[in-house]
Amino acid sequence: MEEHAEQLRHSLAHLLAAAVKTLWPKAKNAIGPAIENGFYQDFDMGKTVISQEDFPAIEKKMREILATWHAFEVKEVSVATAKKHFKDNPYKLELIKDFAKEGKAITENDPGNFLDLCKGGHSQNPQKELQNFKLLSVAGAYWRGDEKNKMLTRIYGTAFATQKELEAYLKQLEEAKKRDHRILGEKMDLFTISDQVGKGLPLFTQKGTWLRELLNEYSQSLRAAKGWQKVWSPHITKNDLYKTSGHWDKFGGELFLVKSQETKDELVMKPMNCPHHQQIYASKPRSYKDLPIKYMETTTVYRDEKAGELLGLSRVRSITQDDSHTFCMPDQIEQIYQELIDVTKIFYETFGMPLRARLSFRDPKDPKKYLGEVSLWKKAEDILLDIAKKNNLDYFVAEGEAAFYGPKIDFMVKDSLGREWQLATPQLDFVQPARFGLEYIDTGGKAQTPVMIHFALMGSVERFLSVYIEHVAGNFPLWLAPVQIAIIPISDKHFEYAKKIAEQFKMHDLRFKMYEENDTLGKKIREAEMQHIPYLLIMGDKEIAASAVSVRARGQGLPAGRQGDLGQMPVEAFLEKMKTEISEKQ
């Protein structure tokens, strides 16, 4: 986030806190950071319930208070002074205690009439710069993200430097609401989430399953063409596997545990596939002649995500990864990365989603977060930087975003609304192979540790679908559409002809829906259009006489020239048209 925007939004979090505490004097504010495109502030509201209906009053009070503010004055104070100033706020007192324990300076700020605990980074001209804001939503959030703590009220807002930018963003949000994958998923009958199954555990219908399988088939075909081969691993494992890999210490709280009634062994629902694939590698001796060894597996992993963070398909507990793991020698890294970058570019170009690359490196200020030697990390990061430059990637470096065992290239994908999502990730790993004692014999007969490269093309099928459904607003291209063709006979007497056409489509593996209901033609067409079916075929007396179909293309999501009423077309010509568009992935 650009520094000025961050200061503006963080300042507005203070302004929100001031307004809420003025309107509800017993409210206690906790934290209020700037976030992407906005800010939020957490409150302990006691028995008071805040809703969006309160936003106009809060915004009005924010503007009244803003008229009295000047540049934020930040000063360092003693622990005793800070405790005195915030003696009635347990959240501030807890932060003060932690800061003191860590040896951090205690700083307060005040823009004129609202003292708060904060390290700084504020607007120096609040009355001028904090004008363009809007409160957006309210949600629950546990204090410090811990479910053992009290649930607080979190109010979200957005803010920009200009009114024009604010209005553009609000317009984007309105469009995003129409494209919400949860709403479209229900309307188009793609997936459902059952309370009896559990939160974050989506169930996919026949149509949703078509999407999953077609996406996976395409993902695997691109990698298979570059030499990756399928493997399979079980969904549970002994916890020792993840203790060796380092995942147990880092993510133990996110693991689902399973107890064997027979052996009393403690097992784990697998949260990732890499340790399993390493065991396949370790199952027999390897030589430099065998490398690179390329495994791929599309399988579901399980992570105990916090209930408050679960959201449709974008954040789930059952995560299906189109995963790959490559074991190679150091001098093969660049070639493997080149292949993965090529695959990523082809895949996302197919879906019309431009890319840029985030080079996710370790945070040098917090080395305890990462496994492995600093020299290996430096070597790995230099390799990724060199690869990004040689490929002319649109890239930027993000310190602190690396996995605990290695740096990575996170491909950031832009959707049709201009929003950016992190999806595909090739990740370099010098650490885990050594922890598992993996080896290969080099040209000199010596044992060496292979390099491991993790890669998921979609990231996860669920997350990719959440992004892609909204990207196309449910208007899937013909090759991917769960239902490609709506067969619509005008009346009962045209059903037999429609059934003959349907048989031809079945022989060509086309996916269709026959509208046999005794509804009006208009109602059938509206229903097919609501389901975003790419092609509607109308069949009546004229079509029967001509051995043809009348073709109507969906209004959105098809290339120019293929939309609207395309007129009457011989059945064979229509079949040829379908064959061409599907093969070209249109």
Could you tell me which residues are beta bridge partners of residue 454?
Answer: 325, 427
Q: Where are the alpha helices (DSSP H) in 333-409?
A: 333-350, 374-390
Both tokens of 202, joined, read 């989506």
Separation CA 488–CA 513 (nearest Å): 9
Residue 1: its pLDDT value, please?
A: 55
Average pLDDT over every residue of 16-43: 95
121-133 pLDDT per residue, tens: 898 899 999 999 9
**Residue of 286, 435, 454, 471 marked active site:** 454
Annotated binding site for Zn(2+): 274, 325, 454
Both tokens of 250, joined, read 């880092």
265-287 pLDDT per residue, tens: 789 999 999 999 999 999 999 99
**Residue of 154, 247, 277, 408 marked active site:** 408
**Residue of 322, 323, 415, 429 marked active site:** 323
The lowest-confidence range among 135-139, 248-252, 371-375, 582-586 is: 248-252
- Helix, coil or strand: residue 382: helix
265 is catalytic: no
Q: Is residue 558 pLDDT above 90, yes or no?
A: no
**Residue of 277, 325, 435, 513 marked active site:** 325
**85 burial class (0-12, 13-18, 19+ CB within 10 angstroms)?**
middle
Average pLDDT over every residue of 108-116: 91
**408 burial class (0-12, 13-18, 19+ CB within 10 angstroms)?**
buried
For residues 17 and 131, is the Cβ–Cβ distance under 8 A? no
Listed in sequence order, the residues at least 6 apart from 42 whose beta carbon sits closer than 8 Å to its beta carbon are 29, 30, 31, 32, 91, 141, 143, 152, 153, 154
Average pLDDT over every residue of 510-515: 95
Separation CA 186–CA 190 (nearest Å): 6
Residue 561: its pLDDT value, please?
A: 62
Residue 247: its pLDDT value, please?
A: 78
For residues 482 and 532, is the Cβ–Cβ distance under 8 A? no
- Does domain 186-472 fall into CATH 3.30.930.10? yes
Residue 506: its pLDDT value, please?
A: 95
Annotated binding site: 274, 325, 454
Going from the C-alpha of 194 to that of each of 85, 139, 191, the distances in angstroms are 48, 22, 10
Residue 292 amino acid letter: P
H or E element: which one contains 142?
strand 133-142
Q: Which residue, among 116, 170, 448, has the nearest Cα to 287 in the 3D structure?
A: 448
Residue 373: its pLDDT value, please?
A: 79
Q: 95 falls in which pLDDT band (50, 70, 90)?
A: very high
Separation CA 311–CA 293 (nearest Å): 36
303 is catalytic: yes
**DSSP track, 150-174:** -EEEEEEEEE-SSHHHHHHHHHHHH
321 is catalytic: yes
274 is catalytic: yes
132 secondary structure, DSSP code: S
**69 burial class (0-12, 13-18, 19+ CB within 10 angstroms)?**
buried
**DSSP track, 258-292:** EE-TTT--EEEE-S-SHHHHHHHHTTS--BTTT-S
471 is catalytic: no
Q: Is residue 107 pLDDT above 60, yes or no?
A: yes
CA 464 from chain center: how many Å? 7
* Domain ranges within the chain, ordered by starting residue: 3-164, 186-472, 485-583
**Residue of 122, 274, 294, 554 marked active site:** 274
Both tokens of 164, joined, read 């024009």
H or E element: which one contains 575?
helix 571-583
Listed in sequence order, the residues at least 6 apart from 115 whose beta carbon sits closer than 8 Å to its beta carbon are 85, 108, 109
**Residue of 321, 432, 448, 531 marked active site:** 321
pTM: 0.86
Q: Where are the alpha helices (DSSP H) in 429-570?
A: 432-435, 461-472, 495-507, 521-530, 541-546
Q: What percent of the chain is modeled with pLDDT above 90? A: 74
Listed in sequence order, the residues at least 6 apart from 513 whose beta carbon sits closer than 8 Å to its beta carbon are 483, 485, 486, 487, 528, 531, 533
Residue 79 amino acid letter: V
Q: 36 falls in which pLDDT band (50, 70, 90)?
A: confident
Average pLDDT over every residue of 292-309: 91
Q: Is residue 367 pLDDT above 90, yes or no?
A: no
Residue 560: its pLDDT value, please?
A: 62
Residue 295 amino acid letter: Y
442 is catalytic: no
Task: Work out the mean pLDDT of the chain and round it to a whole number.
Answer: 92
Q: What percent of the chain is modeled with pLDDT above 70? A: 99
454 is catalytic: yes
The CATH classification of domain 485-583, taken from the options 3.40.50.800, 3.90.1150.10, 1.20.1090.10, 3.40.50.300: 3.40.50.800
For residues 395 and 388, is the Cβ–Cβ distance under 8 A? yes
Does residue 292 have a cis peptide bond before it, meaning omega lies within 30 degrees of 0?
yes
The CATH classification of domain 3-164, taken from the options 3.10.20.740, 3.20.20.70, 3.30.980.10, 3.40.50.300: 3.30.980.10
Q: Is residue 485 pLDDT above 80, yes or no?
A: yes
Both tokens of 333, joined, read 């890294």
Separation CA 124–CA 262 (nearest Å): 67
